[in-house]
């Protein structure tokens, strides 16, 4: 592994020579926009037990309480703005012929920055899903109250069952379709970017190993060392909102 400062030319060459780029982003990118993640349990979230608001069991015990927490989360996200890392990734997408961004983040900051060729592997806080038939809806199709009670919980228009936030909770599998898209991109890319994630989710290791197996270069942008850093050919130990625009400017 080469430190960024040690060989900037090689790093820039890696970006310039790439045709097929796969980007894997995580909580760090959202955090730079002021959004703590569910798993960070920062601030107001710390008072809640994740087993209550991030498991199916907790949801079924008190759906109104869980929905109220997600409503406040949706409002936080609506007030947050994409940062220079989100914006630079959207510009990269326009440049490279083959490109996929797979994010673990459940907010919509990548989309609002302009990313289109992307998948969300941990769900989307802007979507709701029927717990019975599994149908997924855009939350904006529902008139969700600011404060839920037992009578105002969102119900499936198709089957009338209770709906839940479309987020991967603890103990749940990630959805197959976005995961397979990420695996395919990792298996065929020539540059994998790991941005703002420690990679400590099970699929993080697999994605990095698929990319290495295909002969891709791996660049990690992360202020602190994570579980995937040892896979990286280049590690840029800085916040993505600072490092990515500077690197892309020089490319």
Residue environment code for 106-128, b if the CB has 16+ CB neighbours within 10 A, otherwise e: bbbbbbbbebebbbbbbbbbbbb
130 binds Zn ion (CB under 5 A): yes
Catalytic, 95? Answer no
Instruction: Annotate each residue in 142-161 with x if it binds Zn ion (CB under 5 A) or - if it does not, as one string.
Output: --------------x-xx-x
Tokens at residue 126, please? Answer: 């802007």
Cβ proximity to Zn ion, 51 vs 159, nearer residue: 159
Least Å from the CB of residue 187 to Zn ion:
34
Interface characters, 160-199, with Zn ion (x: CB under 5 A)? -x--------------------------------------
- Closer CB to Zn ion, 154 or 241, in the complex: 154
How do 136-138 and 163-167 pair as beta strands? Answer: unpaired
Q: How far apart are CA 142 and CA 130, in angstroms?
A: 13
Window contacting Zn ion (CB under 5 A); options: 53-61, 72-80, 99-107, 130-138: 130-138
> CB of residue 63 vs Zn ion: minimum separation in angstroms?
15
Task: Please name the residues in contact with 52: beta carbons below 8 A apart, sequence gap of 6 or more.
Answer: 58, 61, 62, 65, 66
Output b/e per residue, 18-56; b: 16+ Cβ within 10 A.
bebbbbbbbbbbbbbbebbbbbeeeeebeebeeeebbbe
CA distance 19 to 95: 9
Catalytic residue among 122, 214, 230, 233: 122
Q: In the beta sheet, which residues pair with residue 155?
A: 162
- Residue closer to Zn ion (CB basis): 161 or 181: 161
Closer residue to Zn ion in complex, CB, 164/233: 164
Rank residues 130 and 201 by Cβ distance to Zn ion and give the closer one: 130
Q: How far is the CB of 164 from Zn ion (least distance, A)?
A: 11
Residues with Cβ within 8 Å of 7's Cβ and at least 6 positions away in sequence, in order, are 234
Is 94 near Zn ion (CB under 5 A)?
no
Here the tokens at position 71 are: 């409503």
User: Closest approach of Cβ 155 to Zn ion, in Å?
Assistant: 8
Contact status: 133 vs Zn ion (CB under 5 A)? yes
The residues annotated as belonging to the active site are 122
Which residues of this chain interact with Zn ion, rule CB under 5 A? 130, 132-133, 135, 156, 158-159, 161
């Amino acid at each position: 592994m080469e430190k960024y400062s040690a060989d900037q030319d090689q790093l820039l060459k890696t970006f310039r020579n790439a045709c097929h780029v796969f980007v894997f982003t995580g909580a760090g990118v959202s955090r730079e926009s002021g959004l703590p993640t569910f798993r960070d349990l920062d601030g107001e979230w710390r008072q809640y037990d994740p087993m209550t608001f991030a498991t199916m069991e907790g949801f079924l015990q008190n759906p109104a309480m869980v929905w109220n927490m997600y409503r406040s989360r949706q409002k936080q996200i609506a007030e947050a703005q994409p940062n220079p890392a989100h914006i630079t990734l959207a510009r990269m997408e326009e440049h490279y012929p083959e490109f996929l961004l797979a994010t673990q983040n459940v907010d919509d900051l990548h989309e609002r920055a302009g990313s289109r060729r992307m998948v969300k592997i941990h769900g989307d806080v802007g979507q709701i899903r029927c717990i019975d038939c599994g149908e997924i809806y855009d939350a904006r199709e529902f008139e969700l109250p600011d404060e839920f009670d037992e009578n105002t919980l969102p119900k499936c228009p198709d089957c009338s069952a209770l709906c839940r936030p479309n987020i991967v909770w603890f103990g749940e599998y990630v959805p197959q379709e976005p995961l397979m898209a990420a695996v395919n991109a990792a298996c065929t890319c020539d540059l994998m970017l790991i941005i703002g994630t420690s990679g400590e989710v099970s699929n993080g290791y697999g994605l990095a190993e698929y990319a290495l197996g295909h002969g891709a270069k791996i660049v990690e942008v992360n202020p602190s060392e994570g579980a995937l850093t040892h896979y990286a050919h280049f590690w840029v130990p800085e916040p993505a909102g600072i490092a990515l625009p500077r690197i892309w400017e020089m490319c």
